[in-house]
Structure 1
Amino acid sequence: MTGEAPVRSRDTHYIARVGMIAAVYAAATLVTVMFLGSLAWGPIQFRVSEALCVLALFTPAAVPGLTLGCAIANIANIALSGTGMLGMLDVVFGSLATFVGASFTWKLRRRPAIALMGPVLANALIVPAYLPLLLQGIGFYTIPFTSISLDGTYPLMYLFGLVTTGLGEAVIMYLLGYPLARSLAKTPLIKRELAQTGTNR
Structure 2
Amino acid sequence: MSTLLAENDGRLPDPLLDELTDLYASNAEFFARTGDFPDPYALHRDEVASSLNAELTHPAAEVLLAREPSDPSAHGAGAQAPDAPQHPERLTGLAITLTEHPDPIDPYPWIGLLLVHGTLHRSGRGSRLATAVEDWLRASGHDGVRLAVLDSNPDALLFWSVLGYRAIDHRTDHAMGRPCTVLHKDLTTADRDADNANNANNANNANS
Does TM, scored on the shorter chain, surpass 0.5?
no
Q: With CA pairs under 8 Å and 6+ residues apart, which has the higher RCO, 1 or 2?
A: 1
**Larger Rg computed on CA atoms:** 1
| Structure with the higher strand share, 1 or 2 | 2
